[in-house]
Amino acid sequence: MPRFFIDSPPVDGKAVVTGEDAHHMLKVLRMKAGESLILCDGQGHDYSCTFMQANGDTAECQVQEVLPSQGEPNVRVTLYMGLPKGDKMDFIVQKAVELGAVEIVPFLAERSVSRPDAKTLRKKCERWRKIAREAAMQCGRGCVPVVGEPLTQKQAAEQAATCDAPLFLYEDEREVGIRQALRGKQPRSVALMIGPEGGFAPAEAETAKQAGMQSVSLGPRILRCETAPLAALSVVMYETGNL
């Protein structure tokens, strides 16, 4: 069943879809009066609706039932991702949203190969936010995860350290695994900091430690920068009962 987000809750049992979503409904899906769809207000509510009619470039819908969204985990996971090269971040954002991340924050690491200028980075962030929205609709999320403004590694570590479980995924960690760090705990918020190609420089590991993050390992194998966040998110969701 088609699923879209709306900017504000329905009024008097009626909801209006605008913008690109309305265009998709009317021009791509060519929905007809009486067809069913799901609208989500981004605040944890799903509205089972019937498409009524098009009014210019907007779509008017009748609410049939209100239900709590089922697609949100009970733990808030923020992914802090070192800027990778090419279009790898597109894939990372999409899959992180599917796995339950509530926020993705890119940061510039010492070993980041990609170093776009401010204008290019703004365009990339706009693209990542669009990808996050589309992924949220596809996988049944109850909100659209945020793609935050790019930070330095120090800023990202300091922000991540405010979470209940701030985890620094470090390839040189030999003692503590990510499951060990989470086992027996029920954190309300988790931060995952993952480096770009080439991992973290030793100075960055020290910066994360001084900020209050815990260094953890994902195991004996070195994962690609686009694989590591998916593995880490899967572990967090499993250990917290969300997978």
- pLDDT tens for each residue of 112-169: 988 889 899 999 999 999 999 999 999 989 889 999 999 999 999 999 999 999 999 9
**Residues 83, 89 contacting (CB under 8 angstroms):** yes
Q: What pTM value is reported for the model?
A: 0.89
At residue 47 the predicted structure's pLDDT band, cuts being 50, 70 and 90, is very high
Helix (H) / strand (E) containing 14: strand 14-17
Give the pLDDT of residue 73.
Answer: 94
Which tokens belong to 243? 């997978």
At residue 43 the predicted structure's pLDDT band, cuts being 50, 70 and 90, is confident
Q: Is residue 225 pLDDT above 90, yes or no?
A: yes
Buried b vs exposed e over 60-86: b needs ≥16 C-beta within 10 Å?
bbbbeeeeebebbbebbbbbbbbbbee
Q: Which domains does the chain have, with CATH numbers?
A: 3-68 (2.40.240.20), 76-239 (3.40.1280.10)
Helix (H) / strand (E) containing 141: none
Give the pLDDT of residue 181.
Answer: 96
**Residues 228, 218 contacting (CB under 8 angstroms):** yes
> Cα(185)–Cα(240) distance, rounded to whole angstroms?
8
At residue 57 the predicted structure's pLDDT band, cuts being 50, 70 and 90, is confident
Average pLDDT score, the chain: 94
How many degrees, rounded to 5, is the angle at CA 205 between CA 162 and CA 197?
A: 105
